[in-house]
Amino acid sequence: MVKVGVLALQGAFREHAEVFDALGAETCLVKRPDQLAGIDAIALPGGESTTQTKLLATSGLKDPLIQAMRDGLGCFATCAGMILLAAELHDARADQQPLALLDISVQRNGYGRQVLSFEAEIDIDGMPEGFTGIFIRAPRVTRVGNSVEVLASLGSDPVLVRCGNIWAAGFHPELSNDLRLHQLFLNQLATTEGV
C-alpha cells in the first residue's frame, strides 16, 4: 500500500487526504520533519504560498523536505504547492524563496485575483476524457525546463507538469469530485516504487 503524507501547515490539506483515503492509500498529515519517515510521497496543497513558505521554515520541515525529494520522495503539488516547487518566481516577495525542486518558472496569481477564479476543461495525457480544472488565484507557468514534461495545457500555458515522481498542477483537483488525477499519480508511484 502506498503511504502518502499531506503537508498540513496551511491550505487544502484535508481535501487531499480525503481523496487519497478514498483511493485506498494510507495517509498521514505532515507537520514535523519526523513525519516524513516512511512515506512514499507527499502532497503539497493549495493555499497561500507565502504563508506556507514561512511555515516550512519555522516548522523545521524545509530542509528535510528538500532532501527527501532530492532522494526520490514522490510529490503531488497543487496551486500553491506548484509555486513552492518552482525554480523561479516572477512576482514573489523578497523573502519568499521557492524550494527549486522543479525546473519551471511561475507567476503567482497569473490568471488574476480570487474574483477571477474559473473552471476550464483540460485534456490530460493518459486520461481518456477531459478533466474540469478549478483555477483559484492560480499560478501561471511561464517557462518549462528540458527535464519537465507537460501533461496538460490551458491554451498555450502548461497547467500540469511532471518530472519523474514530482507532479505539479496549477489547478485544484482535490476540490473536484473527480479522483482520476490523484489516481494517475498513485499508479505511476506504485509502478516506479514497486509498491
Catalytic residue among 15, 16, 75, 79: 79
28 is catalytic: no
- The letter for the amino acid at 65 is L
Q: What is the pLDDT of residues 121-149, one digit of tens each?
A: 999 998 999 999 999 989 999 999 999 99
Q: Which of 68, 70, 106 is CA-nearest to residue 90?
A: 106
Average pLDDT for the chain: 92
Quote the number of domains for the chain.
1
Residue 195 has pLDDT above 70, yes or no: no
- 75 to each of 28, 39, 162, 164, how far by Cα in Å? 14, 11, 10, 10
Model pLDDT, residue 23? 97
Please give the residue range of the domain that contains residue 66: 3-193
Catalytic residue among 15, 16, 75, 172: 172
pTM: 0.93
75 is catalytic: no
Catalytic residue among 15, 163, 174, 182: 174
Q: 10: how many CB neighbours lie within 10 A of its CB?
A: 18
**Are the beta carbons of 43 and 6 closer than 8 angstroms?**
yes
Residue 170 has pLDDT above 80, yes or no: yes
| Residues composing the chain | 195
> Taking residues 30-38, what's their average pLDDT?
97
Query: Under 8 Å CB-to-CB from 91, ≥6 apart: which residues?
Result: 107, 108, 109
Question: What CATH number does residue 44 fall under?
Answer: 3.40.50.880
172 is catalytic: yes
The three cell numbers locating residue 126: 493518459
| Percent of the chain as helix, strand, coil, to the nearest 5 | 30, 30, 40
